[in-house]
C-alpha cells in the first residue's frame, strides 16, 4: 500500500468514525464524511467501494485494538501484571479511538446488525481466552473465585465509558477535553478496584513470561 493511499484511508476512517458516531449508519451520508475528511466524495468510493465497506473499516479500526488489548493475558503468567496492563490498554483505546468506540457501542446496542460474522467470531474467541486465564488464576488461588465473564464485563464497562460517555465525564469534571492525567487516574482507580476487590496476588516470580 502506498503512503498516499494509507494516509487518505486513515483520514477517511477518522472522519467516518466521527460521522457514524453522530448520525448512525442509516443516516450517515458519504458526502458528509468527504466534507469532514477534506477530500472529494469520489475518493470515498475509490478507497472503500461503498458506505457498507467503509463502515466495516471503522469497526475493524476499533476491533483490532480491542483484540490486541488481550496480549497481557497471554504475555504474563502473573495476574497482577496482566490485569494492570489490560486495564491500561483498554483505557488507551477509549482515549485513542473515542468515535470508533462509540460506533462499536452503538452497533452492539442495536444487536450488531452490521457486525461481520468473522469479527464476532474473533471477539468471542478472545472472550473465551480471557475467561480461561482468569479461571486458571482462580484455580491457582491467585484471586477470589468470581464469575470470569462478569468480571470482564465490569472491566469493559468501566474502561469504555471514557469513550462512550465522554461528554458526561467531561461535564462532571467541568473540562473541555480529558487529558493524560485523567486517563492515568482512571487506570489507577479501576486497577485498584479490580485487584483489591478480587484479592489478586502476584506470583513469587512476577517477571516470569509464558513459554
Domain ranges in the chain are 3-49, 59-197
- The domain 59-197 belongs to what CATH superfamily? Tetracycline Repressor, domain 2 (1.10.357.10)
16-74 tens-digit pLDDT: 999 999 999 999 999 999 999 999 999 999 999 999 999 999 999 999 999 999 999 99
Q: What is the pLDDT of residue 2?
A: 83
Fill in the DSSP letter of residue 208. Answer: P
Computed from CA positions of residues 36, 39, 44, 48, in that sequence, does the dihedral angle turn out positive or negative?
A: negative
pLDDT digits (tens, 9 = 90+) for 124-172: 999 999 999 999 999 999 999 999 999 999 999 999 999 999 999 999 9
> Is 80 exceeded by the pLDDT of residue 79?
yes
Task: Note whether 135 and 148 are within 8 A (CB).
Answer: yes
- 3-class SS at 209? strand
Calculate mean pLDDT across residues 188-195.
Answer: 98
Over the stretch 86-129, which tens digit does the pLDDT of each residue have?
999 999 999 999 999 999 999 999 899 888 899 999 999 999 99
Mean pLDDT of 181-204: 96
pLDDT at 208: 46
CATH no. for 3-49: 1.10.10.60
pLDDT band at residue 205 using 50, 70 and 90 as cut-offs: confident
List the grid coordinates of 73. 493475558
Amino acid at each position: 500500500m502506498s503512503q498516499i493511499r494509507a494516509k487518505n484511508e486513515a483520514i477517511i476512517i477518522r472522519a467516518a468514525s466521527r460521522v457514524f458516531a453522530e448520525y448512525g449508519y442509516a443516516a450517515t451520508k458519504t458526502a458528509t464524511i468527504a466534507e469532514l475528511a477534506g477530500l472529494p466524495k469520489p475518493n470515498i468510493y475509490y478507497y472503500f467501494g461503498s458506505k457498507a465497506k467503509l463502515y466495516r473499516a471503522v469497526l475493524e479500526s476499533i476491533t483490532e485494538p480491542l483484540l490486541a488489548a488481550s496480549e497481557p493475558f497471554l504475555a504474563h503468567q502473573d495476574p497482577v501484571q496482566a490485569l494492570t496492563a489490560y486495564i491500561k490498554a483498554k483505557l488507551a483505546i477509549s482515549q485513542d479511538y473515542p468515535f470508533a468506540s462509540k460506533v462499536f457501542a452503538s452497533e452492539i446496542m442495536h444487536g450488531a446488525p452490521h457486525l461481520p460474522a468473522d469479527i464476532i467470531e474473533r471477539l468471542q474467541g478472545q472472550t473465551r481466552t480471557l475467561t480461561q486465564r482468569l479461571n486458571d488464576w482462580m484455580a491457582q488461588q491467585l484471586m477470589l473465585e468470581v464469575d470470569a465473564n462478569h468480571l470482564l464485563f465490569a472491566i469493559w464497562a468501566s474502561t469504555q465509558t471514557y469513550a462512550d460517555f465522554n461528554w458526561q465525564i467531561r461535564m462532571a469534571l467541568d473540562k473541555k477535553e480529558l487529558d493524560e492525567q485523567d486517563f492515568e487516574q482512571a487506570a489507577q482507580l479501576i486497577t485498584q478496584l479490580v485487584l483489591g476487590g478480587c484479592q489478586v496476588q502476584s506470583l513469587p516470580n512476577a517477571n516470569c513470561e509464558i513459554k
